[in-house]
Amino acid sequence: MNEPDAALKTLGVSLGDRSYPIHIGPGLLGDPQWLTPHLAGRQVMVVTNDSVAPLYLETLKQGLPDDLDVREVILPDGEATKNLANVERIWDALLAAGFNRRCTLIALGGGVIGDMAGYAAASYQRGVAFIQVPTTLLAQVDSSVGGKTGVNHPRGKNMIGAFWQPRAVLVDTHTLATLPPRELSAGLAEVIKYGLIRDVDFLAWLEASMAMLRDLDAAALTTAIERSCSIKAEIVAEDETEQGVRALLNLGHTFGHAIETHQGYGHWLHGEAVGAGMQMAAELSHRLGWLEASDVARVRNLLAAAALPLAAPGDMRAEDFLSLMRLDKKNLDGRLRLILLGCLGDACVHDATPPEMLVSLLEEFPRA
Amino acid sequence: MNEPDAALKTLGVSLGDRSYPIHIGPGLLGDPQWLTPHLAGRQVMVVTNDSVAPLYLETLKQGLPDDLDVREVILPDGEATKNLANVERIWDALLAAGFNRRCTLIALGGGVIGDMAGYAAASYQRGVAFIQVPTTLLAQVDSSVGGKTGVNHPRGKNMIGAFWQPRAVLVDTHTLATLPPRELSAGLAEVIKYGLIRDVDFLAWLEASMAMLRDLDAAALTTAIERSCSIKAEIVAEDETEQGVRALLNLGHTFGHAIETHQGYGHWLHGEAVGAGMQMAAELSHRLGWLEASDVARVRNLLAAAALPLAAPGDMRAEDFLSLMRLDKKNLDGRLRLILLGCLGDACVHDATPPEMLVSLLEEFPRA
């Protein structure tokens, strides 16, 4: 570690007896003080993928005490692998090792690895401990915090899963040095989301700092991750199982999931689809009279500065969006529920968009 | 209903905001007052099997309001079907129907159906409502109460699952009229278990009433089910996720699971294996100096009166038991934990059985 201690931040997620810390800082991965207090017993299964393992698996293992029984499952990389068959591979490895209900799973990788390892932990022997060690910006600011775990189904994204909280989240910002630029942009989409739904000052800071973030400026990254995780932790503490305010975290996601499902998982990155979806949500909020045209332009410019796509896939018709959006988990008893923006920095759940307004938006939105 | 209202009993399972009622009585199945208050929304998926569906599916549907969207999944019957592939069939049916997170699953059948439907509910869109309508004695007194759900894995029983509480349990004692005698005996094994672990007066009542129970005497059955569910509900309320006292409900189960796994699921009924396992636990408790020989004889005689097997499978060696018992979920960090009897009516968790004593018990126990 050559950064000062000020670069290390610890936040808490407040969920009663399931509360846990998020440690953020450079070089945390190989330091035993961060993982050891959160292990349930001596049996540890590291779940990672074949892109991340060569980069960080040995460093992580060096950060574990010597007297543990440490095993690993190395899955293929990519959103297309987020399915039940790969979760079964984790269960098979746990059973082959004879691991009991006091074992601990450590998810080392991006959101796909975290979601699968978390769901495997939630369902192994009816629930065992797990720790998130996210190595992508997207996972660091979003999926590793809040306890949503699960896998995709051919008929829809994240349809099978559980709410299962980690014992701790360990964000080593050094891991972003090896992240492909496209994945960095995808993570920035979720960072921008926090500004849009809850914090217009953070949004303004992002407008000023986007170039530094894309240059991997360490201080700027730490600030962005910390502020993002703080907003997410606040919202999750208010509403763990998404009965209310937690739905706001899905700004852009109903449109985005439709893009991901239609294109086939893995072609668009999740954050890219969410970026396009936030642009659609902003435009719809404008058509409802809530946002100014200049607000929509700010959203578009910030997404452009993050190098995110501003157009939907060329082969997606309005009816493709509509049929896929009807499967969204937020819908209740047949009514389409969307997260929209009352103003920049304040999102709301809306289930009364005039159908013809939605259809014309979907028809008129730019296509790639 | 031609029985007096006194034949209807309602118990509560106290779990804070997840508390729920158990209604026990003859003819409840077709009466809308019992199911309707517990539905989460308009979408209802009945999960049942091809033995139970012809007997009770139409009656259950008559007990649902007319304005619902009611679908059904009819799975094959038997413990051998309790696997992830059949849970996936439930998820596929829910997604094909476009059901959202406000749907309700109703488990109509024995423990296998309840365990699979419950796990499907726990993991569908990260958790939806479900109601247990158990139609076997075993499910009525055991698996439908307490929120344990899950499936078997080739390497062990109930290895994949979740703690997920039903919204209500509906026990229609009329359904026992169509239960094969062997399954009635298997259910009686769990009834006897409650007397052994917690209530020696109930044990004495069972010794006096076993013939009436096997003759399906309505009043005797109601008493046996009510007392069994009360004891289970008390224990579950004390310890929902089996950190302590709940483990006592597993008397005979570590031995029993080994028998079931070794024989292949479905050859021995769960209750039959537990019956043999309780006999082994009683004998081991005697060798440890805790039970009198006369106590062991009482256990054996009661199991015999319930027409349960008193011998282990002829092809199971002591080492078969030992290797399978080491996979038991109760074990922690390599120590074998067994539920034993301090005296009749009082069970305890014990992890210090001398290995040679366990081996000699396993070698000397009668074989079929």
- Interface contact B161-A331, CB threshold 8 A: no
Q: Which residues in chain A (254-273) have CB-CB distances under 8 A to chain B?
A: none
**CATH topology of B5-178 equal to that of B181-364?**
no
Instruction: State the best of B160, B322, B326 to mutate against chain A, taking most chain A CBs within 10 Å.
Output: B160
Look at residue B156 in the predicted model and tell me its pLDDT. Answer: 83
Binding-site positions of A for Zn(2+) read 190, 253, 270
CATH number assigned to the domain covering B181-364: 1.20.1090.10
Instruction: State the best of B43, B99, B126 to mutate against chain A, taking most chain A CBs within 10 Å.
Output: B126
Please give the share of chain A, as a percent, with pLDDT higher than 70.
96
Q: Which of B23, B167, B183, B190 is catalytic?
A: B190
- Interface contact B162-A125, CB threshold 8 A: no
- A333 to chain B, any CB pair closer than 8 A? The answer is yes
Residue A201 has pLDDT above 70, yes or no: yes
Residue A330 has pLDDT above 80, yes or no: no
Look at residue B32 in the predicted model and tell me its pLDDT. Answer: 87
Pick the more confident residue, B185 or B240. B185
Burial class (CB in 10 A: 0-12, 13-18, 19+), B18: middle
Look at residue A26 in the predicted model and tell me its pLDDT. Answer: 87
- A102 to chain B, any CB pair closer than 8 A? The answer is yes
CATH superfamily to which A182-364 belongs: Dehydroquinate synthase-like - alpha domain (1.20.1090.10)
Look at residue A329 in the predicted model and tell me its pLDDT. Answer: 66
If you ran DSSP here, which 8-state letter would residue A308 be given? -
- Interface contact B100-A331, CB threshold 8 A: yes
Average of per-residue pLDDT across B29-55: 95
If you ran DSSP here, which 8-state letter would residue A249 be given? G
**Which chain A residues are closer than 8 Å to B156 by Cβ?**
95
**Which chain B residues are closer than 8 Å to A92 by Cβ?**
155
With cut-offs at 50, 70 and 90, classify the pLDDT of residue A74.
very high
Residue B271 has pLDDT above 60, yes or no: yes
Look at residue B3 in the predicted model and tell me its pLDDT. Answer: 45
Q: Which residues are CB-contacts of A118 (< 8 A; sequence separation ≥ 6)?
A: A105, A107, A130, A132, A147, A148, A149, A150, A162, A164, A166
Q: Which of A125, A149, A161 sits opposite B329 (nearest CB)?
A: A125
Q: How far is CA A76 from CA A49, A50, A87, A182, in A?
A: 5, 6, 12, 19
- Interface contact B160-A123, CB threshold 8 A: yes
If you ran DSSP here, which 8-state letter would residue B322 be given? H
Enumerate the domain spans of chain A.
Answer: 5-178, 182-364
Q: What is the pLDDT of residues A232-264, one digit of tens each?
A: 999 988 988 888 899 999 999 999 999 988 998
Average of per-residue pLDDT across A79-86: 92
Average of per-residue pLDDT across A174-184: 94
Average of per-residue pLDDT across B270-289: 97
Long-range contacts of B221-225 (CB under 8 A, 24+ apart): B221/B137, B221/B173, B221/B176, B222/B7, B222/B9, B222/B24, B222/B25, B222/B173, B224/B141, B224/B191, B225/B24, B225/B137, B225/B140, B225/B141, B225/B171, B225/B173, B225/B191
Look at residue B1 in the predicted model and tell me its pLDDT. Answer: 38
Burial class (CB in 10 A: 0-12, 13-18, 19+), A103: buried
Residue B237 has pLDDT above 70, yes or no: yes
Residue A119 has pLDDT above 90, yes or no: yes
Residue B355 has pLDDT above 60, yes or no: yes
Average of per-residue pLDDT across B65-88: 94
Query: Catalytic amino acids of A?
Result: 126, 148, 190, 232, 242, 246, 250, 253, 257, 270
Please give the share of chain B, as a percent, with pLDDT higher than 90.
79
Average of per-residue pLDDT across A154-158: 86
Q: Which residues are CB-contacts of B74 (< 8 A; sequence separation ≥ 6)?
A: B48, B49, B50, B53, B57
Look at residue B163 in the predicted model and tell me its pLDDT. Answer: 95
Residue of A nearest to B327 (CA): A98
With cut-offs at 50, 70 and 90, classify the pLDDT of residue A266.
low
Residue A183 has pLDDT above 90, yes or no: yes
- Interface contact A95-B41, CB threshold 8 A: no
Most confident option among A213-222, B51-60, B73-82, B348-357: B51-60
Look at residue B197 in the predicted model and tell me its pLDDT. Answer: 97
Residue B308 has pLDDT above 70, yes or no: yes
CATH number assigned to the domain covering B5-178: 3.40.50.1970
Q: Are B86 and B54 in contact (CB under 8 A)?
A: no
Q: What is the pLDDT of residues A331-350, one digit of tens each?
A: 666 678 999 999 999 999 99
Look at residue A1 in the predicted model and tell me its pLDDT. Answer: 38
Average of per-residue pLDDT across B219-227: 92
With cut-offs at 50, 70 and 90, classify the pLDDT of residue A3.
very low
With cut-offs at 50, 70 and 90, classify the pLDDT of residue A2.
very low
Mean pLDDT over all residues of chain A?
Answer: 93
The interface pTM score, or ipTM, of the predicted complex is 0.86
Q: Which of A98, A127, A150 sits opposite B162 (nearest CB)?
A: A127
Question: Is B270 an annotated catalytic residue?
Answer: yes
One-letter amino acid of A163: F
Q: What is the pLDDT of residues A45-64, one digit of tens each?
A: 999 999 999 999 999 999 89
Q: How far is CA A368 from CA A311, A314, B28, B121, in A?
A: 5, 5, 59, 39
